[in-house]
Amino acid sequence: MRDELQRHLSGKGIQTQIHYPVPIHKQKAYSAFSAGVSLPVSERVSREVLSLPMHPWLREDEVEFVAKAIRDYVVT
């Protein structure tokens, strides 16, 4: 669902990001500390989380535009 939502928002000119496509405990830099570790919630979240536009200069009409685009996707 996340990837489809991301494509939908992109089609409306809304940039999003996936900041942690690989859970931190599965990244090479942490392999010495997490060998054999299973963190199913972290793994699920890394597949589902989508970062939306957010910054101090985001105007209220832009927030409404993003919210409407998400509602349109969910309703469809």
pLDDT in tens, the chain (76 residues): 899 999 999 999 999 999 889 999 999 999 888 888 899 999 999 999 999 999 999 999 999 999 999 999 988 7
- Residue 17 β-bridge partners: 51
Total-model pTM = 0.81
CA distance 76 to 35: 42
Instruction: Provide long-range contacts, Cβ within 8 A and 24+ apart, for 65-68.
Output: 65/12, 65/14, 66/9, 66/14
